[in-house]
Structure 1
Amino acid sequence: MIYEDNNRAQKDIDIKVFNQIPSEKSVILRSILENSLNSAIFILDENGYILEINRGVSKIFGYSIDDLKGKYFSILFTPNDKSDNLPEKELSNVLEAGASTDRNFIVHRSGKHIWAQGESVLLHKDGIKFIIKVINDLSREYELEQYKNKSIKDLKIFVYTASHDLKAPILNIEGLIDSLESALINNEDYSEILDLIKSSIGKFKTILNDLSETGKEQEKGEQDVYEGVSFQEIVDELLFAYNKQIESIDATITCDFVKAPIIHFSKKNLRSIIQNLLSNAIKFRSSQRKLQIKMSSDKTDEYIIFSIEDNGIGIKESDKKALFSMYNRLNENIEGSGVGLAIVSRIVDNNGGKVVIDSFEGKGSKFNIYIKDNPS
């Protein structure tokens, strides 16, 4: 009990000294404490006891001054962090270095854990040390990171499943084509058709292998191989693969890659981006008019821009926010897995790019894919 009285007396001395800090610095500090709402600010003594807080503490973490004044600042830490002596480590760092930065969960008054970043600075006055600790709420950033990690995990599962499940039927088709070729070996009327079928199967197998390798490399954390890739070359491969479908719907496709014919990027990732966007343009065509697709490229100081525009059914304004969500199918009447645009978004985001959409329901859509060129 004598210890507690002495401790309380020391806190009273610290608070009194803090309240009597003179000069313009005091005015600035008190103005910050009274008016700052977007950051939580704590004034601690050198032992980690809370002397003062600003209004931002109540707004962000729910505590009043009565909840915290005179309390050891470990009250803000999770049980796990307390058991790991994290409060003591943070206190030691700022006392030794004069300043420190940290990231950890802060316990809200309701018990909720909020991911936050703190910056601490050591001050001196009349032989007494004070610590100013500023904490910012990073919960939104944390949620986005968790969502991103979940999306990547979902994509890995899809990549492995798709590449594995599709290989068996392709091998079966290849075997049947070989048998058919043997039966028609002397029939020249079918030789060209068989050659086209075998070529299509070969390209399909290449795409599946690339898909499988992409998953393996991501699992191992390997970097993509960047090389000079021709937009026209990738598009020609895909147009060949979709040739029958394009002919059957009498679609018109035009390309203009003069402004930026080459990009230094992962070839399989670029193919995946264009394939998914082209496939969507074909699938989401309008029944009221003949499909027209325009593909082009351009460049700025920072990006190479691949654009694909169609006159299809367009996208509802209410659907745009969920457009890149995993397994999200905006039209249940049109076949698809709901992962195509999620794959595009993941590839572009991971390479520091962005996707800009200009779409109106009933009129069509334009996707502008901003990709950073990587020549070195």
Structure 2
Amino acid sequence: MYIRKNERNRVGIMQHDADVCDGISVLLMENDRDMCEQIEAALRASGYDVHAFRDADDGLKAAKAKYFPICILDLNTGGLNVLKSLKQMHPEMHVIVISSSCSTTKYDVINALNYGAFMYLENFNCEEIVVNVKKAASFYRMKKEKEEIAERYRSLVESMDAYVYLIDRDMRCVFANRKMLSIPGMKNNIIGMKFYEFFNTYSAEEMERNLRHVFKTGNALSYVTSSDEYGRWFLRTLSPVKDSEGNVIAVTVISRNITAFKEVEKELRRKNEELEWFSYTVSHDLRSPLVTIEGFVSLLRKDLERGDLARVYADLDIIEGGVRKLSAFLDDLLTLSRIGRVANPHEYVNFGEIVEDVLKLLDAKIKERGVDVIVADEFPVVHVDRVRIEEMLQNIIENSIKYMGEQKNPRIEIGYTDDEHEYVFFVRDNGIGIPADQVDKVFQMFYRLERRTEGTGAGLTIAKKIIEVHKGRIWIESEGEGKGCTVLFTLPKYDQNNEKKS
């Protein structure tokens, strides 16, 4: 017997270790009654949850029913076959093999270790057993903590709204989250592949250069790239993964699609440009009629003093014209401010009815200029704010009439094409056209191709805002001066449930 009786006196000393083991379950298989009781008592004193069995079959049944991180197995209790069975059931189990028999040979030790024993103890005492169980418990806890950390990391990575993957020094992918694997066309077996085998060739060169930089310097790197054939923008962060000696062994890539942010940024930039143009135009166009009014008020006073009634009436006509111009300008400003804020209920209406109503309103101007208006035979039903869309179409057609120039046979054509998810309408004329360098400017607030043309120049700006409120697009195509132009705009299709088709 290798357990001394005075070992029982040491049990109390081990009480302080109770909080260290955290109640880890230990399977004890020892056929000797006294030895089994003493080992069990020592382990329980240290806070372990001990399940002791003197029969090998009973111990194996317990191991099958419940997982034990640690097992203490006396070779006299079933021998190496029990060890093999335990490791087959639970390969991760830490089995401490003990032997109290003098007949144990070095081959028994070698075989036990080959079969996966965590440790082999001979000529042991209870204190030694507790110390080695602590070692096994430490390994178990460290492994469990690593697994928990890995699971938390995996959960975090999988929950991120980003493409996350890990590239090793051989430029091979060793991990990819579900979002990465869900990319249309992405191969599910990218693990182990060189990154440029599945990476977009459009930006592979840039990516490889940045990866090598992180491997070389050990510093994280972030950059924004638009290297995508679909016009998307990505923010990529490359972070080094280092071993215990500080060597970079892999790079974690986190790639976020920031196309929406870039579009917002682009829209804000455009709005700022519009605001600058607006400030300039308002200050100029408001000042112009005010200067006119101010000047002719002064002349009016002098003409009144002279009693020159003819000049007085002429002065009043000019002042009245300035007031009308100022009033029209302010009306357009008010209209622009109300679009999107003040709206009429949307309704289903055949676009042909809208065309018909607008042409009736403009009948006098059309006849006065002698414009031949060609209208498509049929139009689709749209879901719109009818009042605003009629206002928009009226502005576009009035613009076409206004800029016919010296055209002897003025013509306006109104029609549409059916796209997959939207209708594309057009108003085509054979007027003076638009110079290529001014096509993008015509929708600017109060922009006019010719300053002498009547009106404030807000017509197309108003039309653009109305279309944008309806989730559509508007643009102009022109082959140049003297070749007419086409205004195109889109309206989304809606199904019978009033849901936008996508």
Scaled by the length of structure 1, the TM-score of the pair is 0.50
Query: Which structure has the larger Rg over C-alpha atoms?
Result: 2
